[in-house]
Amino acid sequence: MKNRSNSVYSVSRLTKTYPGKDTPANDDISFNVQQGEIFGLLGDNGAGKSTLVKQMANLVRPTRGSVNLYGRPVQEEPLLVPRFVGYMPQTARTLNSLTVSEALYFTSHLRGCGRQESNCERERLVQLWELHDIRTELCSRLSGGQQRLLQLAAAMAGQPPILILDEPTNELSPQRRRHVWETLRAENSKRGTTIIFITHDAIEAEKIIQQVGIMRRGRLAALGKPSDLKKQLDQQLRLELRFQPESPPVLPLGLQPQKLSEDHWIVRLDQHQVEAALSGLDFSRIDDFQLHSATLEDLYLHYT
């Protein structure tokens, strides 16, 4: 892999096999993340995504390969990642004995902000993530979603130039999820923050992802811009149908659905089939339908 000069992260032939395991958690992974890029990692559960970001955050020692941050190996300089990266772990049970406000203040201060600056940073983050109502609550008493927002705020405390976020929208309501993606996009365009994240929320994440890596069984199955990868998929359109399970729709002859669940199908259509398919459907038996071109979720399903 070519190490371009504006690469923030350069991952080369990275492999991790945990002690006592036969198969590697991730295997021979190489990619670069550019300065100011939003890099999304998609993949099935157990595909090795969390191991990969933990290796990038220098929390897991690689079996083989290297991770360079600004051209320097993260393993050899213990303070390299802490100085430049804000990391949000997948679990959200840290700092349980502190209040939300204290957690944000201490994280900012420990990242090197002065006392006054840490107070300002705390106020900024409370405002940004709408944490006013819970600022005096103990972290241990927060709901899963509130813990998630606090972890996001803590990762951003002190405005590190790089964020690594492990499933930032897990356990969040749809409104909160949207707020997360909008805030991350704003953070990226306003400050040029490089953002690397793992998500299963491919449809929402598509709005901000600039480069995507799709992992399958520990390997990088696809890597590139979402628009370039989509071109490699077929040019079919997707007709999504939602309906009551006891009365599924009758499809026009020749169309076969992909049954995602008992009340949710996807039908792939060539362009010339669209009109006939829509006119042949009995809409009284359909709760909702969407017609769209290939999405990031289709890419995800295709490669995993």
Partner 1 sequence: MKTRLPLPLHLQYWDLFLIELSNWRWGWRNLALTGTVLPLFGILLLGSFARELGAYALSFVLVGNLVMALLFEHMGKLISHFAYMKVAGSLDYFATLPIRKNVLILAASTAFFILFLPSLVVVLAGGAWILRLELHIHPLAFAVVPLCALPLAGIGALLGVSFRTPEEASAAGRLLTILMLTIGPVLIPPDRLPDWLVWLGFLSPATYAASALRQVVLGPLTSRLLLDFAVLAGCVLISFRLVDRKMDWREG
Q: Which is nearer to partner 1, 106 or 243 (CB)?
A: 106
Q: Contacts with partner 1 in 119-148 (CB under 8 A)?
A: 138, 140
Ordered DSSP codes for 129-156:
TT-GGGTTSBGGGS-HHHHHHHHHHHHH
Residue labelled with tokens 């992260």: 9
What phi-psi label fits residue 171: left (phi over 0), alpha (psi between -120 and 50 degrees) or beta?
A: left
- Sole binder of partner 1 in the list 29, 60, 165, 267 (CB under 8 A): 60
Phi, psi angle pair for 202, to nearest 5°: -65, -35
**Binding of partner 1 at residue 43 (CB under 8 A)?**
no
Site for partner 1 in 192-221 (CB under 8 A): 192-193
Out of 1, 71, 110, 290, name the contact with partner 1 by CB under 8 A: 110
Q: Any contact of residue 116 with partner 1 (CB under 8 A)?
A: no
Using rule CB under 8 A, residue 92 touches partner 1: yes
According to the binding rule CB under 8 A, does residue 85 interact with partner 1? Answer: yes
Q: Name every residue whose Cβ is closer than 8 Å to that of residue 25 and which is 6 or more positions away in sequence.
A: 16, 17, 18, 48, 51, 218
Q: Rounded distance, CA 70 to CA 6, Å?
A: 8
Q: 201 with 169: CB under 8 angstroms? A: yes
Q: Which is nearer to partner 1, 88 or 223 (CB)?
A: 88
- Minimal distance, residue 76 CB to partner 1, in Å: 13
Contact status: 106 vs partner 1 (CB under 8 A): yes
Helix (H, G, I), strand (E, B) or coil at 222: strand
Is residue 94 a contact residue for partner 1 (CB under 8 A)?
yes
Interface residue with partner 1, options 12, 34, 59, 238 (CB under 8 A):
59
User: Considering the rule CB under 8 A, would residue 109 count as an interface residue with partner 1?
Assistant: yes
CA atoms within 13 A on the CB side of 151: 26
**Which CB, 76 or 270, lies closer to partner 1?**
76
What are the DSSP calls for 10-49, one per residue? EEEEEEE--TT-SS-SEEEEEEEEETT-EEEEEE-TTSSH
Residue 175 carries which side chain, given as an amino acid letter?
Answer: Q
Q: Which of 5, 6, 97, 261 touches partner 1 (CB under 8 A)?
A: 97
User: Under the criterion CB under 8 A, does residue 156 sit at the interface with partner 1?
Assistant: no
Of 38, 154, 172, 205, the one binding partner 1 (CB under 8 A) is 154
Contacts of 247 (CB under 8 A, 6+ apart): 285
Which parts of this chain interact with partner 1 (CB under 8 A)? Answer: 16, 18-19, 54, 57-61, 63, 79, 81-87, 89-98, 102, 106-107, 109-113, 138, 140, 154, 158-161, 191-193
